[in-house]
């Protein structure tokens, strides 16, 4: 630790010329060292690349934002198009305050304003395959394959089409991009009740009402619905007792844009 100061002092004691030569050699050596270190040193690349990096980030972020906006716009345009048809499969559970019942083999078909829905509810070991149809403004339900069709007094607001509540972009919330299976999707949420508690096959259920049913859905870059989950929260009286009713479903969309035939019973 003390050799360098002594050598430097000794060099200076050799006279002005020697001292100047030593000083020049030191300066040149330091400059050469800095020049050779510059490409790998942290300071120089950081300063040199800072401006270009910030300039490149903005277009990338802008492009992603535009892709998301385009996807959501295309989704709204698709699901609000007259005559839009699709099919979806689903499964999940029906949760009451006092019990939980599995829902399986769910199928939702929509052709324009016409809707067909069927599913199987397992109630204490017994399965009930129920079906609902909404055709040309009229509604029917049957609670078992051997049951007869019954008329329902419903309005258009009660239809269980997945996108019935979407009329414009303000009805959809965008949550951000999602990676799934190596692909980028865009997640949206909106009001949706593809299984209304009123059609559940319980003989002792009454006074049902929806609260804030929500579907969280992944759409692709073209705005096509792919898959998602829905939480249909409501309430109703079971044997006269007011209970919370929540239906949780996993939903997968198929035949998007393809013709689906739905007939009145």
Q: Does residue 224 surpass a pLDDT of 70?
A: yes
Asked, for residue 265, whether it belongs to a domain, the answer is no
CA 74 to CA 14: how far, in whole Å?
84
- Asked if 19 and 127 sit in the same domain, the reply is no
Average pLDDT rounded to a whole number, residues 147-164: 87
CATH number at residue 189: 2.50.20
Which of these, 161, 165, 156, lies nearest to 76 by C-alpha position? 165
**Quick one: 243 and 160 in the same domain?**
yes
Q: Is the backbone of residue 199 left (phi > 0), alpha (psi -120 to 50) or beta?
A: alpha
Summary mean pLDDT of the chain: 81
In a domain, 199, yes or no: yes
User: Going along 112-194, which residue ranges are E strands?
Assistant: 114-123, 126-135, 138-142, 150-152, 173-180, 183-191
Give the per-residue pLDDT at 59. Answer: 52
Quote the percentage of the chain above a pLDDT of 90: 55
Least confident piece of the model among 15-19, 119-123, 156-160, 162-166: 15-19
Q: Note whether residue 56 is domain-resident.
A: no
Sort residue 246 into left (φ over 0), alpha (ψ -120 to 50) or beta.
Answer: beta
Q: What is the pTM of this model?
A: 0.73
Q: How many domains is the chain partitioned into structurally?
A: 2
Task: Indicate whether 106 and 37 sit together in one domain.
Answer: no
């Amino acid at each position: 630790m003390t050799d360098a100061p002594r050598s430097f002092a000794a060099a200076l004691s050799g006279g002005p010329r020697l001292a100047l030569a030593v000083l020049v050699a030191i300066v040149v050596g330091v400059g050469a060292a800095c020049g050779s270190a510059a490409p790998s040193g942290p300071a120089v690349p950081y300063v040199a690349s800072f401006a270009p990096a910030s300039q490149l980030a903005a277009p990338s972020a802008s492009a992603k934002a535009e892709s998301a906006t385009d996807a959501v716009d295309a989704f709204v345009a698709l699901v609000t198009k007259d005559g839009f048809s699709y099919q979806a499969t689903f499964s999940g559970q029906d949760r009451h305050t006092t019990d939980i019942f599995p829902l399986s083999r769910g199928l939702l078909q929509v052709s324009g304003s016409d809707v067909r829905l069927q599913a199987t509810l397992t109630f204490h070991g017994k399965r009930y395959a129920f079906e609902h149809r909404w055709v040309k403004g009229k509604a029917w339900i049957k609670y078992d394959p051997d049951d007869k069709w019954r008329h329902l007094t419903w309005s258009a607001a009660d239809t269980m089409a997945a996108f019935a509540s979407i009329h414009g972009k303000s009805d959809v919330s965008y949550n951000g991009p999602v990676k799934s299976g190596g692909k980028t999707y865009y997640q949206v949420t909106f009001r949706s009740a593809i299984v209304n508690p009123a059609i559940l096959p319980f003989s002792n259920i009454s006074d049902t009402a929806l609260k804030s049913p929500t579907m969280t859905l992944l759409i692709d870059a073209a705005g096509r619905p792919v898959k998602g989950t829905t939480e249909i929260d409501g309430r109703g009286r079971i044997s006269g007792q007011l209970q919370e009713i929540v239906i949780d479903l996993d939903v997968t969309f198929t035949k998007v844009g393809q013709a689906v035939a739905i007939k009145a019973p």
